[in-house]
């Protein structure tokens, strides 16, 4: 038979469990009957629309946040997964840079073909804008025929057009060469500071096409003139000044300059007026 002490201890434990905070609501008796609970539920019922109206705003804001959160990953995915066109362009640019660096064998004196650097630089100088402008002016002052003066004046205007157009495109694109090197003195004068498009290639293509169209040359000279234009463009690639795509775009731009100059060709009378005005303006200095 259990002792009275054990029975009392068990009753105390039960009372202690029921007095805990989580069991207090079970011990409390409702103050009113079922009628009051029904009235309370009826009074609480009209308050539901207000709470629903208040809850609509956070749901709207939550839906907006969800839409924004769903849009952002799509934009990120578009950046992380470029299109086929972007992949192809980046691949071609990488190939262009790699081939241009490998072909820059005369970029420095310590390069693989560094001993030929002076000769390649001399070949590039034959396609420089300052060289051709000075040579055209000298030939124009010594020319006595109207046909010769007409060709030389149009060639001088074509050279000025080529220099200004290439300089403007280079300032717009600002593409660096495959090898980091500062431009030379003549390059700064001719505003040939950047890589794209190739100024020497553009000038060589335009001059060779111009001379082939307006001068009567033998077949060997015509072949040599075309070969000279190609070598002038390649010389800048060997020197590490331009990429291969810069040279190709320079050739295309030179042909475009020639076509444009043919459409605005100046007649012999106009060339004579230009020569007379220039001689009158420069006569006080000589």
Could you tell me how many residues make up the chain? 286
Alpha carbons 236 and 107: distance in angstroms, whole number: 9
Alpha carbons 242 and 233: distance in angstroms, whole number: 9
Task: Give the active site residue among 128, 200, 243, 257.
Answer: 200
Task: Give the active site residue among 128, 214, 242, 257.
Answer: 242
Q: Is 200 a catalytic residue?
A: yes
CB distance 124 to 235 below 8 Å: yes
Helices (H), the chain: 4-18, 24-27, 34-44, 48-80, 84-103, 117-125, 129-142, 146-173, 185-189, 199-214, 219-238, 244-263, 268-282
Alpha carbons 259 and 94: distance in angstroms, whole number: 32
Residues with catalytic roles: 200, 242
């Amino acid at each position: 038979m259990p002792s009275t002490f054990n029975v009392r201890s068990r009753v105390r434990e039960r009372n202690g469990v029921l007095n805990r905070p989580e069991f207090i609501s079970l011990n409390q008796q409702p103050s009113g009957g079922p009628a009051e609970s029904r009235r309370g539920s009826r009074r609480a019922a009209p308050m539901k629309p207000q709470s629903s109206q208040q809850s609509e705003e956070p749901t709207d804001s939550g839906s907006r946040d969800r839409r924004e959160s769903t849009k952002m990953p799509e934009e990120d995915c578009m950046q992380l997964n470029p299109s086929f066109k972007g992949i192809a362009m980046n691949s071609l640019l990488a190939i262009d840079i790699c081939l241009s660096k490998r072909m820059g064998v005369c970029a420095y004196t310590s390069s693989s073909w560094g001993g030929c650097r002076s000769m390649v630089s001399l070949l590039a100088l034959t396609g420089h804008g300052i060289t051709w402008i000075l040579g055209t002016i000298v030939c124009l002052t010594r020319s006595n025929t109207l046909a010769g003066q007409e060709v030389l004046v149009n060639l001088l205007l074509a050279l000025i057009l080529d220099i200004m157009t290439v300089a403007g495109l280079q300032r717009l694109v600002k593409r660096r060469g495959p090898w980091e090197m500062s431009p030379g003195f003549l390059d700064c004068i001719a505003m040939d500071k950047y890589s794209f498009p190739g100024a020497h290639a553009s000038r060589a293509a335009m001059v060779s096409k111009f001379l082939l169209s307006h001068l009567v040359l033998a077949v060997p000279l015509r072949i040599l003139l075309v070969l000279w234009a190609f070598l002038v463009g390649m010389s800048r690639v060997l020197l590490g000044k331009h990429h291969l795509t810069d040279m190709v775009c320079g050739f295309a731009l030179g042909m475009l300059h020639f076509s444009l100059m043919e459409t605005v060709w100046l007649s012999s009378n106009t060339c004579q007026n230009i020569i007379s005005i220039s001689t009158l303006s420069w006569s006080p200095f000589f």
